[in-house]
Amino acid sequence: MEILTGNRDLLIKEECPLFTENSDERWARLIHRADLINTLISQLPPESVHLNHKCERVITYNDYAEAHFTNGISVDADLVISADGIHSKARSIFCNVTPVYSGYHAYRAIINEEATFGLASDNTLRIFVDGQVQVYLLPLQYRKQISVDITVPSEDPSWRPDIEKKDILKHLRNFDPKIQQIVESIEEFNCRALYDIDPLERWSSNCIPPARRCCTCYAS
Ligand SMILES: Cc1cc2nc3c(=O)[nH]c(=O)nc-3n(C[C@H](O)[C@H](O)[C@H](O)COP(=O)(O)OP(=O)(O)OC[C@H]3O[C@@H](n4cnc5c(N)ncnc54)[C@H](O)[C@@H]3O)c2cc1C
């Protein structure tokens, strides 16, 4: 991994992920989100995965819970494990948190390795930094693709801000021309405001009975 200035002067170079014998160390691994999800799904029997189910409510009783979906289906189960992200419906049962805007936008795209003008063809994660603006080139080695991630400060807290390429390029004025060229050649960016939630005091309700039904996955 390398951290460089916007002009490609090297600031830090280190091995990543750094594996040591110390089990207390927090190892970072790089995996494309779609690959992670496919890895998890491939371990489940297909009949256990139900897509196009958007949960609108979870109701807990003493020894079971009901999950209600917008398609009219409801399911009762001994245990509901919710992994529905920052807007989680289930989380509101046991805690009430409001997402906090980080003050940053992230603009992302996936491009082919050869479109990076040699800046990302050696399986090295490169982070170019100029003030509060950062450009990540994250190698997705076996796909021969690169994830381009640009993070910039912004006062616009819209979850999906409407950003044009020329706005992105303005932030990159001080960056190496090759980096600007990479961005110039990208047709479409996925633009998001970055939000966070404070650490949770609780992660579960009291409803943890003996298992009756397990390993069924509902996702929107
Ligand atoms: C632009 C951007 C870049 C990021 N980059 C990185 C990075 O490089 N590395 C990193 O570690 N983290 C990164 N993060 C953060 C990371 O994406 C999140 O921390 C992580 O995805 C949170 O995981 P999660 O399982 O809690 O929720 P999510 O990944 O948001 O998953 C929630 C899932 O639940 C589904 N869902 C939502 N509501 C319902 C519902 N009502 N019913 C059924 N299904 C529902 C959603 O469709 C989604 O599939 C990034 C985030 C953003 C926005």
**pTM for the full model?**
0.85
The closest of 12, 163, 48 to 172, measured between CA atoms, is: 163
Return the percentage of the chain with pLDDT > 90, whole number. Answer: 63
CA 195 / ligand 1 centre spacing (Å): 11
CA 40 / ligand 1 centre spacing (Å): 15
Of the ranges 44-48, 104-108, 213-217, which one carries the lowest mean pLDDT score? 213-217
CATH number of domain containing 186? 3.30.9.30
C-alpha radius of gyration, the chain, whole number = 21
> What pLDDT is stored for residue 217 in this prediction?
64
Return the percentage of the chain with pLDDT > 70, whole number. Answer: 93
Same domain, 112 and 159: yes
> What whole-number distance in Å separates Cα of residue 106 and Cα of residue 179?
16
pLDDT mean across residues, the chain: 89
> Tokens 């603006």 map to which residue?
133
CA 7 / ligand 1 centre spacing (Å): 32
pLDDT tens readout for residues 115-130 = 999 898 788 999 999 9
User: Is 10 inside any structural domain?
Assistant: no
Structure tokens, 36: 């992670």
The one-character DSSP state at 115 is G
User: Is 15 inside any structural domain?
Assistant: no
pLDDT tens readout for residues 86-122 = 988 888 888 888 999 999 999 999 999 999 998 987 8
What is the sign of the dihedral through the CA atoms of 172, 177, 178 and 180? positive
User: Is 56 inside any structural domain?
Assistant: yes
> What pLDDT is stored for residue 162 in this prediction?
96
Return the residue whose CA atom lies nearest to atom 51 of ligand 1: 194
Structure tokens, 16: 């990543």
Distance of alpha carbon 78 from the chain centroid: 29
User: Is 133 inside any structural domain?
Assistant: yes
- For residue 11, the SS3 value is strand
Say yes or no: CB of residue 54 within 6 Å of ligand 1.
Answer: yes
- What is the arithmetic mean of pLDDT over 67-74? 95
Query: Does the pLDDT at position 212 exceed 70?
Result: no
Ligand 1 pocket mutation pick from 37, 50, 84 by most atoms within 8 angstroms of CB? 84
Atom of ligand 1 nearest to the CA of 37: 49
pLDDT tens readout for residues 11-37 = 999 887 767 777 777 777 778 888 899
Same domain, 145 and 71: no
The closest of 91, 186, 194 to 148, measured between CA atoms, is: 186
> What pLDDT is stored for residue 113 in this prediction?
92
- What is the arithmetic mean of pLDDT over 66-85? 92
Please name every residue paired with 50 in a beta bridge, in sequence order, or none if there are none. 218
> What pLDDT is stored for residue 100 in this prediction?
96
CA 94 / ligand 1 centre spacing (Å): 20
Same domain, 86 and 113: no
The parent domain of residue 60 ranges over: 48-98+207-218
Contacts 24+ apart (CB under 8 A), 164-167: 165/189
Query: How many domains would you assign to the chain?
Result: 2
> What pLDDT is stored for residue 220 in this prediction?
67
